[in-house]
Amino acid sequence: MKDWIDVTMAISPSIMVYKNKEEKMPKFIVRATHDKDGHHESSICMDLHTGTHIDMPKHMLKEGHSSDAFNLESVNGRCVVVDFSKSYKHEVDDEFLKFYKFEKNDIVIIKTKNSFDKTFNYEYDFLNASGAEFLKNQGVKAVGIDALGIERNVPGHPTHRILLGNGIYIIEGLALAEIEEGIYEFMCIPLKIADVEGLPARAFLRSIKDV
């Protein structure tokens, strides 16, 4: 694991969740203890979109496929990290993204001001439809962001639909505070869960060279 930087949110009872919704908070249940049972064993109940996770097309598209058709190659490989965190704006759009050079099958990771939020920020930065359309036209294979949602209160979820509808996976909840803009290798390893619409994952970046 040398040189890999962990960009995963740690899952805990107090992890930041989307809009602070109680039902999205993970719950831990202790089932056995040393004093009573001679060992310690616990369970977790969690929304599949907790912390760092991958959205399957089924999450936003009625006919979209579940994790059964997911391939690890889709979220592993060459990656460009773009830094939107200095912008006064909240919408990552095509105007911002066109200053970067992407290659076909790149994974694009968007660092924003969200990575510095300690509590859920209702005005979080997000990728708008023009940005999603631009990335789709560049032929990227996945898009990651440090928000718990890649869009925000947009009717019809166009960003999700443009990406997931074109075979582009979405990784949400990345922890990018320490990451600088540049070219990286991205490694994203989700749990192997059958037939679901979201996969909790571990994610790492390894620097290749500067942009």
Question: Is there binding between residue 73 and a copy of itself (CB under 8 A)?
Answer: yes
- 110 and 82 Cβ atoms separated by less than 8 Å: yes
Minimum gap (Å) between residue 73 Cβ and a copy of itself = 6
Residues 165-204 that bind a copy of itself (CB under 8 A): 189-198, 200, 202
Instruction: Give whichever of 72 and 208 is closer to a copy of itself, judged by the CB atom.
Output: 72
59 is an interface residue for a copy of itself by CB under 8 A = yes
The structure tokens 């925000």 sit at 152
Q: Which stretch binds a copy of itself (CB under 8 A): 47-55, 100-108, 128-136, 178-186?
A: 47-55
46 binds a copy of itself (CB under 8 A): yes
Indicate whether 5 belongs to the interface with a copy of itself (CB under 8 A). Answer: no
Size of the site for a copy of itself (CB under 8 A): 45
Instruction: Identify the H or E element spanning 180.
Output: none
The nearer residue to a copy of itself, 45 or 86, going by C-beta atoms, is 45
Q: Is 118 in the site for a copy of itself (CB under 8 A)?
A: no
Joined together, the tokens standing for residue 150 give 């890649």
Residue 203 bridge partners (DSSP):
188
Of 54 and 97, nearer to a copy of itself (C-beta) is: 54
Do 160 and 24 contact (CB within 8 A), yes or no? no
Whose tokens are 């990286």? That residue is: 184
Among 17, 48, 54, 148, contact with a copy of itself (rule: CB under 8 A): 48
Residues 6+ apart with CB under 8 A from 68: 194, 195
At CB < 8 A and 24+ separation, what contacts does 187-193 make? 187/4, 187/76, 188/54, 188/72, 188/75, 188/76, 188/142, 188/144, 189/72, 190/53, 190/54, 190/67, 190/70, 190/75, 193/48, 193/67
Under the rule (CB under 8 A), what is the footprint of a copy of itself?
1, 6, 8-12, 23, 28, 31, 34, 38-49, 51-52, 58-60, 62, 72-73, 76, 157, 189-198, 200, 202
